Amino acid sequence: MTAQTDAPLLRVCGLKTWFHTFGGVVKAVDGVSFDLSPGEILGIVGESGGGKSMVGFSIMGLIDKPGRIEAGEIIFDGRNLVSLDDNAMQAVRGRQIAMIFQDPMTALNPLYTIGNQLEEMLTLHTDLGPQARRERCIEMLAEVGIPQPEARLGAYPHQFSGGMRQRVVIAIAMIAGPRLLIADEPTTALDVTIQAQLLRLMKAQVEQRRTALIMITHDLAAVSQMADRIVVLYCGRVVEIGASAALIAGPRHPYTRGLLDSIPANHQGRSRLPQIPGTVPDIRKLPPGCSFAPRCPRAAERCRSEIPELTAAPAGGAFACHFPLEAAP
């Protein structure tokens, strides 16, 4: 299956996911492309309403009406997921691609024990017998750092703290051995002290199995420590993509710069935390040019009329800006 290790596991190409509402067409994802190799960690970063989560749901094939994938390809392991029917997609979900969500408080069904919910994945996706399933569940819980896993199998979600629940959620996602994990704001709802622990846990989990990871977050600081590459989304479009270190050291797009500047740790001593002025525009009425132009300090006449194309930077990566920042020395 993995004859050529260089071949990307996932290639998203020109993905457009639009929602046809009464108020107009919402282009939640509008021409997003990226690829991902086995074992790679990709961060997708952007503000709320930037269409980040919809990239994840599009890959999962779970776009609900009135949304639709208008164009583009999602090639996973050589197959175009966009063209698969629902039955074929169901075999991919959970088994090949798993996904975890933001809120560990509601991500587990309150009426079933966590053992039951873990086992459900194994029943669904493997041929293991009851005893083997049970052992695998205990093993998995131990791996994600749940103390006394055997005793905790019979516990209900409300008997766990938020951080422990998110560990269980990760265990459920990883237990069927997916090749791609999509984590949608996995640590946003947790205490800061626990965030780092869980990020380390996720990183260890995916590295150990060479699972590819897409980490969707608004927290550029968190993702920069984990991801190999970062995609910055704004209003459904990729504004910058690049290797993590290079993007953090020398962002080319003013939006990326703005996100970096608003991380508190990055400018100790300065009097006031800089912010990106304004808010994300109504995605139904995007400006004709660059969607970031109304908030951009560098915007000129050209930005307001012409949408910048994503152009490759000589140092690797790509950005979509008419007047990019200087490349890092």
* Residue from the set 31, 43, 50, 94 that interacts with other proteins by CB under 8 A: 94
Binding mask 119-148 for other proteins (x = CB under 8 A): -xx--xx----------------------x
- Of the candidate spans 94-102, 126-134, 254-262, 319-327, the one that interacts with other proteins by CB under 8 A turns out to be 94-102
Shortest Å distance, C-beta 112 to other proteins:
8
Taking CA atoms, 10 is separated from 4, 58, 75, 223, 313, in Å, by: 13, 13, 6, 20, 22
Shortest Å distance, C-beta 208 to other proteins:
21
Binding mask 299-318 for other proteins (x = CB under 8 A): --------------------
- E strands, 24-111, where? 24-36, 41-45, 67-76, 79-80, 97-100
Residue 118 touching other proteins (CB under 8 A): no
Sign, Cα dihedral of 116, 118, 124, 128 = negative
Residue 158 touching other proteins (CB under 8 A): no
Residue 106 touching other proteins (CB under 8 A): yes
Contact 318, 312 (CB under 8 A): yes
Got the DSSP string for 212-237? EEEEEES-HHHHHHH-SEEEEEETTE
- Of the candidate spans 9-17, 67-75, 88-96, 283-291, the one that interacts with other proteins by CB under 8 A turns out to be 88-96
* Residue from the set 44, 45, 81, 92 that interacts with other proteins by CB under 8 A: 92
Beta-carbon-side half-sphere exposure of residue 11 (alpha carbons within 13 Å): 10
286 closest CA partner among 12, 64, 43, 31? 31
Shortest Å distance, C-beta 146 to other proteins:
13
Shortest Å distance, C-beta 101 to other proteins:
4
Shortest Å distance, C-beta 122 to other proteins:
11
- What number of chain residues touch other proteins (CB under 8 A)? 33
CB closer to other proteins out of 151 and 328? 151
Shortest Å distance, C-beta 312 to other proteins:
33
Shortest Å distance, C-beta 151 to other proteins:
6
307 closest CA partner among 325, 295, 294, 320? 320
Shortest Å distance, C-beta 55 to other proteins:
14
28 closest CA partner among 53, 6, 60? 53
Instruction: Decide: helix, strand or coil at residue 129.
Output: coil
CB closer to other proteins out of 183 and 318? 183
Residue 154 touching other proteins (CB under 8 A): yes
Helix 130-143, helix 162-174: angle, nearest 10: 130
Burial code (b: 16+ CB inside 10 Å, e: under 16) for 101-112 equals bbebeebbeeee
Residue 42 touching other proteins (CB under 8 A): no
* Beta-bridge partner residues of 231: 44, 241
Residue 81 touching other proteins (CB under 8 A): no
Contact 164, 107 (CB under 8 A): no
281 closest CA partner among 22, 18, 49, 67? 49
Residues binding other proteins (CB under 8 A): 60, 62, 64-65, 90-95, 97-103, 106-111, 120-121, 124-125, 148, 150-151, 154, 169, 172
